[in-house]
Structure 1
Amino acid sequence: MVEMTPCDGGFALRLAGRDVLRHVPESLAISLACGAPEVTMVRGNFRLLDAPVAAGPLSRAEAEGAGRMVLSSADDTARLAVVLDGARLTLTALSPHDRITVDFALEDGDVLWGGGEQMSYLALNGRNFPIWTSEPGVGREPGTHLTDQASADGSFAGGDYWTTNYPEPTVLCSGGWAISLANAEYAELDARQPGILRVHVWSGEVIIDLFEGTPAELTRQLGERFGPRQPLPEWGIGGAVVGLKQGDASFERLEHLLEAGAAISGLWCEDWVGVRETSFGRRLFWDWQWNAQRYPDLPLRIAALKQRGIRFLGYVNPYLAVDGPLYPEAAAKGYFARCLDSDEPYAVDFGEFYAGVVDFTNPEAAAWFAEEVIGKRMLDFGLDGWMADFGEYLPTDLRLFDGDPMQEHNRWPVRWAEVNARAVASRGRTGDVLWFMRAGHTGVSVHCPLLWAGDQSVDFSRHDGIGTVITAALSSGLVGNAFSHSDVGGYTSLFGNVRSEELMLRWYELGAFSPVFRTHEGNRPDDNLQIDSNDTLIAGFVRWSRVHAALAPYVQHLVTEAQANGLPAQRALFLHYPKDAETFTIQDQFLYGADMLVAPVIEQGAEARRVYLPGEGAWRHLWSGRDYAPGWHDVEAPIGAPPVFYRPASAFAHIFESLAA
């Protein structure tokens, strides 16, 4: 029950049995300002600056009927309407101001989660999180060698703890409430000041939906708000999806893995469109159709693989290289975003090549891409899935067919997801095609069946290595995304940072307990170990691909559960144990459904790790069969035996037990 009532010369907003917003003359919770934004983008890395001029304090309040207050400054130059309609709070500037800041009140012990897909921190307390989709960065920790090298050219490509492909202005509180903004403009979720969650939005109107309940109930309600989740295809969870990009030689390598005994459900060749060598590494040729020179006889090979139960996957993104054959066709139709000072297509620098931005605010352009590119050149060609890459690069200094790019920037991944979903639905194949995205914002989960955690560095680093994909899955799962996975082995290899055998083996272990187990050769495949580089890596891949395949019935149960109640497959512990404060900040282990707990090893050289087992009753160690009581434990974790536990009374216990055989 949400209530807004006048009090003490102001008003109070009551939610979950407490005043979460209290604006009174001696403690003003809402303020207005006028902004002066400056946006800089270099290859998908953004810096946003502002020089706001604050309005006078909103020290006066007048009730204008039930659920409506008007706040104003003493000189009446700043005015704001506050309206509560059901569980939706709308704040609208009645004066010419375009910045609104709202301070929500926190109680001692409150822990905040949300912000979309966060890589570094599951709990938001003590930090500020800008909401602006972008490249996450390389290293993501200023002051470290890798991050500083990546940013040395002035591109801020190193990133920081808050940079993410998928930010979202949604926050859940352990106190039993949540807020979710309907705004797509730049925003900040600032929890640096004790006792306050400050929400700052670059807009003259802010719309906030309010929720109350346990964390699991809030997750379900948010899922309902965003819309139904797409199912994963059964074939996609029945074995590993092998990522190879060596042209026609990829098929021979696949056969060697199959002969070794690997359980494989898909072959993913992102280079099906051809390649372009750059200083960053091996990039793809951004023209979304079969490159017959790199993959001769591909249609026949795809058909032959499918007869054996192995699907073929490719790659696409929402841009077209200026030197590709599709570019002039789209340009002639007027389907690109345009320059500010001319009708010429706007060209984005993607690092040693340029590409046009297909303008999805133009309905004809969106329909053309869905039908002519994805529909005919991919689905009709024989692809059963793809990486739907990018979506976070929309510049702000261009002209769109419809809309302001400052407002459209965060919406762009959702528009891109909608184009993919539209193409799949047009062929009647929703739920059968496995496609996945890294970029997102509010509503992307309605269209996209599967996230992947982006371009992690090929290492164990705290803010950009293997461990960040766990945080990504847990945080994104709170805001409507049921399924997440990662590039097994990592992706980004720069400045001499290359994969180790240990990293590969540990990532196998993590990938096996993800809904989809997909490998990637990375941006510099020739410099890095691959899943078939030596006998140890092949044997490890075979074993963990078979573990993943054996878990398929349980994962299918999680898919059904997600459809029914909105809970993600990989869950933060507090979703099932909301009264256990010990679980509130744990981000390096997860519940895989309600019956299994996985604590991946994400520290280099570790052969044991600390594990927390929540709730009541025993948890059974998967590999030894030993029962552990709830609480903290130091658990042995040699390579090949990461800490995994399950509930002995689970209906799936026989499946779990078979994994240790």
Structure 2
Amino acid sequence: MELETTSSGFAVSMAGRRILSHSATAPCFFVGQGTDRIAMDRGRFEIEDRLAERCPLAHAEIEGETIMLAAAKGQPPRLAVTREGNALVLRALDPSVNRFWLRVIADRDENVWGGGEQFSYFDLRGRRFPLWTSEPGVGRDKTTEITFKADVAGHAGGDYYHTNYPQPTYVSSARYALHVETSAYSVFDFCDPSFHEIEVWAVPERIELFAAPSFVGLVEMLSSRFGRQPPLPEWIYNGAIVGLKDGANSFNRLARIREAGVKVAGLWCEDWVGIRQTAFGSRLFWDWQANETRYPGLRQRIAELNSEGIRFLGYVNPYLCDDGVLFREAEAANYFVKDDSGRVARIDFGQFHCGIVDFTNPDAAAWFSEEIIGKRMLDYGLSGWMADFGEYLPVDVHLASGADARLAHNRWPTLWADVNAKAVASRGRTGEAVFFMRAGFTGVQKSCPLLWAGDQSVDFSRHDGLVTVICAALSSGLLGNAFHHSDIGGYTSLFGNVRTPELVMRWAEMAAFTSLMRTHEGNRPRDNVQIDSDPAVLKHFARMTAIYVHLAPYLRSLSLEAASRGLPVQRPLFLHHEEDRRTYGIQDCYLYGRDVLVAPVWQASQEMRKLYLPAGTDWIHVWTGQSFAGGRDMSIEAPLGRPAVFYRADTEFEKLFAGLLDL
């Protein structure tokens, strides 16, 4: 990074590219004051700001490596900016300042990616993205009927920018990345053609810059900065993780699924803790220990599965229902987040209430990690689990650390990930037991071994269906999250919206070319097609698991590469074709590693797939062996069971990929 004085002010450059430019008439730093209103309802937030001041810091004085910024000459400085390595360290000199803006130089033809895990738009250019971990909402498109109905029923509709996992980091097509080190509410605004504007409801600690001659090098830098996951557990390569929540009958159904030829690595029973019925559907009983009324002799059943090479997985989240045994234990030990009166802050989760275990209290975090995850899960025999939620910390609560809940809210998923990771490490099972999360923020990468894309609608919709999990994998993968997957068939079934067999089959086709295949019965299992409720779906799913297992040697190589270099399993096309700008805006196709291009069918009733093959190599169509030159638009037949998949003609895995023809 270079800081230079110019005739009109100063400039900051990274690897020869000018990032910031300041003059008295066009300052890049602004500060101010505002009063927020943040209200939460079941993980959804209404956020407003009453802005009292936005002041351009027009006057700059450089003292060595520090810039002192004031509104005008002769006025006291309000912000100090110091260059330290690849970062600008910020310090507010005016205690009244609680708003910050920064304008970054933009090119008109620039592409921008990142922002955490984004579902609707991979290229962020031209839009505004608030960064606040929350429920993404149902439908996520204000023009659709399902989003309208969800809003009317409970303000649950969501919008394009809502995400479980935001992160104030972006990657530019100019081959640099910018990270804002803050946990405050922030906004990335990429609407102006000449600058990107960053807004933060606090003065950030640092603005970090990264630059590399290639996108691969940039991703390696970012993954090193935020953390890398261990390789996938060996048992995952054995097949799909089958999600069933049918009590003891889950084992009988699994036996029939296996008899149909499905390759199975694990049985995932999120209802291992018991269930309760609500208006939303069957919900789990949030008291994290085995319910042997619903699963008699579960410990022995788990041992029997292990002897057959199949692992058992469960479910946990960071809340405890107030009618459970563990709630009373945690309350007695003073382990909960408090309300204004000093009592346990009870959160409404829809017909039941829970306390939030206060992970800023080291004793509470250690208790949850050891007594719940360690003893009641890992020691009981679980090899993995969904570590759900993390987005629900309200801003009007009191924490043991004394931290402002407004600043703790975005960090909460990373604290939750750390609780899980420490439990796994305490049993020496890092890289062998696996948990998967939907919530995240800066730093979740170093603790969470596997992301999942959250609760998509059970449909092909543009903003909440199958196609959104591709965008989610690509955006989060650039920032160091190497392993990503989704609920096969989606999750949320409301207002008469139910799965079709076609949807389940198309989703399974995509999942066969990802880090992990995992099914989910959804929030209303009896209303929706399951993998074992339709013979055609079951036969198709068995074949997709055979494809996944066949590709295990390739996936294993990607897993090792992810651990050593931080490169994601699912990659944007431009990561290995950066000279081909046609690839920069593509978000409905991806590279599976470097060598395989996957173009899932993500619209209903389609058997042809239009796509673009990147330039610079020839591509072999998996199902016909036909060769196509890169650098071209094309349409290819993609009937059920034969998704549009190609591999590089010069790949060292050519024999493995050609073998897919026999499956």
| TM-score when normalising by structure 2 | 0.98
Mapped to 2, the partners of 1:105 and 1:238 lie a distance apart of 49
What is aligned with 1:157? 156
Residue 35 (structure 1) shift? 1.2
Q: Does 1:141 align with 2:141?
A: yes
Q: Secondary structure in 2 aligned to 1:168?
A: strand
Q: Secondary structure in 2 aligned to 1:50?
A: strand
What is aligned with 1:632? 633
Per-residue displacement from partner, 1:207-243 (whole Å, max 9, x unpaired)?
1111112222111101011123222101113200000
Residue 91 (structure 1) shift? 2.6
Residue 626 (structure 1) shift? 0.4
Mapped to 1, the partners of 2:280 and 2:172 lie a distance apart of 41
Mapped to 2, the partners of 1:325 and 1:395 lie a distance apart of 24
Q: Secondary structure in 1 aligned to 2:255?
A: helix
Conserved? CA contact 1:573–1:614, under 8 Å: yes
Residue 659 (structure 1) shift? 1.4
Per-residue displacement from partner, 1:183-209 (whole Å, max 9, x unpaired)?
111110000111211000111344111
Mapped to 2, the partners of 1:79 and 1:326 lie a distance apart of 49
Conserved? CA contact 2:273–2:285, under 8 Å: yes
Q: Does 1:523 align with 2:523?
A: yes
* Equivalences for residues 63-212 of structure 1 within 5 A: 63-74=62-73, 76=75, 79-95=78-94, 96-153=96-153, 155-212=154-211
Q: Secondary structure in 1 aligned to 2:546?
A: helix
Conserved? CA contact 1:56–1:77, under 8 Å: no
Q: Residues 212 and 353 from structure 1, CA distance in 2 versus in 1: closer, same or farther, beyond 3 angstroms? A: same
What is aligned with 2:430? 430
* Counterpart amino acid of residue 588 in structure 2: D
Conserved? CA contact 1:596–1:645, under 8 Å: yes
Q: Does 1:366 align with 2:365?
A: yes
What is aligned with 1:247? 247
* Counterpart amino acid of residue 239 in structure 1: G
What is aligned with 1:535? 535
What is aligned with 1:392? 391
Residue 479 (structure 1) shift? 0.4
Mapped to 2, the partners of 1:270 and 1:498 lie a distance apart of 21
* Counterpart amino acid of residue 87 in structure 2: R
What is aligned with 2:457? 457
* Counterpart amino acid of residue 279 in structure 2: S
Q: Does 1:649 align with 2:650?
A: yes
Mapped to 2, the partners of 1:91 and 1:268 lie a distance apart of 46
Mapped to 1, the partners of 2:112 and 2:55 lie a distance apart of 30
Per-residue displacement from partner, 1:80-129 (whole Å, max 9, x unpaired)?
11111111112322112111100001113111011000000000101011
* Counterpart amino acid of residue 5 in structure 1: E
Conserved? CA contact 1:336–1:346, under 8 Å: yes
What is aligned with 1:551? 551
* Counterpart amino acid of residue 91 in structure 2: T
Mapped to 1, the partners of 2:181 and 2:337 lie a distance apart of 25
Conserved? CA contact 1:100–1:206, under 8 Å: no
Conserved? CA contact 1:573–1:584, under 8 Å: yes
Q: Report which stretch shifted further, 105-114 or 461-470.
A: 105-114
Residue 143 (structure 1) shift? 2.4
User: Unpaired segments of 5 or more residues in structure 2?
Assistant: none
What is aligned with 2:319? 319
Conserved? CA contact 1:56–1:78, under 8 Å: no
Per-residue displacement from partner, 1:468-509 (whole Å, max 9, x unpaired)?
000000000000100000000100000000000110110110
Q: Residues 476 and 596 from structure 1, CA distance in 2 versus in 1: closer, same or farther, beyond 3 angstroms? A: same
What is aligned with 2:347? 348
Per-residue displacement from partner, 1:340-386 (whole Å, max 9, x unpaired)?
1x221000111111000000000000000000000000000000000
Q: Secondary structure in 1 aligned to 2:103?
A: strand
Aligned CA-pair RMSD: 1.1
Residue 609 (structure 1) shift? 1.3
User: Unpaired segments of 5 or more residues in structure 1?
Assistant: none
Residue 71 (structure 1) shift? 3.5
Q: Report which stretch shifted further, 47-56 or 526-535.
A: 47-56
* Number of positions where the alignment pairs a residue of Structure 1 with one of Structure 2: 658
Mapped to 1, the partners of 2:612 and 2:234 lie a distance apart of 32
Mapped to 2, the partners of 1:237 and 1:468 lie a distance apart of 25
Per-residue displacement from partner, 1:255-312 (whole Å, max 9, x unpaired)?
0011111110100000000011111111100010000110001111100010000000
* Counterpart amino acid of residue 644 in structure 1: V
* Counterpart amino acid of residue 484 in structure 2: S
Mapped to 2, the partners of 1:47 and 1:17 lie a distance apart of 41
What is aligned with 2:507? 507
Conserved? CA contact 1:188–1:199, under 8 Å: yes
Q: Secondary structure in 1 aligned to 2:115?
A: strand
* Counterpart amino acid of residue 124 in structure 1: L
* Equivalences for residues 19-30 of structure 1 within 5 A: 19-30=18-29
What is aligned with 1:578? 578
* Counterpart amino acid of residue 324 in structure 1: G
Q: Report which stretch shifted further, 610-619 or 321-330.
A: 610-619
Q: Report which stretch shifted further, 457-466 or 571-580.
A: 571-580
Residue 70 (structure 1) shift? 3.2
Mapped to 1, the partners of 2:217 and 2:66 lie a distance apart of 26
Conserved? CA contact 2:227–2:445, under 8 Å: yes
* Equivalences for residues 563-602 of structure 1 within 5 A: 563-602=563-602
Mapped to 2, the partners of 1:360 and 1:367 lie a distance apart of 9
Mapped to 1, the partners of 2:300 and 2:57 lie a distance apart of 70
Mapped to 1, the partners of 2:8 and 2:65 lie a distance apart of 16
Q: Secondary structure in 2 aligned to 1:487?
A: coil
* Counterpart amino acid of residue 289 in structure 1: Q
Q: Secondary structure in 1 aligned to 2:610?
A: strand
Q: Report which stretch shifted further, 405-414 or 46-55.
A: 46-55
Mapped to 2, the partners of 1:474 and 1:398 lie a distance apart of 35
Mapped to 2, the partners of 1:235 and 1:195 lie a distance apart of 50
Mapped to 1, the partners of 2:466 and 2:518 lie a distance apart of 14
Per-residue displacement from partner, 1:619-639 (whole Å, max 9, x unpaired)?
100001100111211111111
**Percent identity for Structure 1 against Structure 2:** 52
Per-residue displacement from partner, 1:584-610 (whole Å, max 9, x unpaired)?
110001000111110000011111111
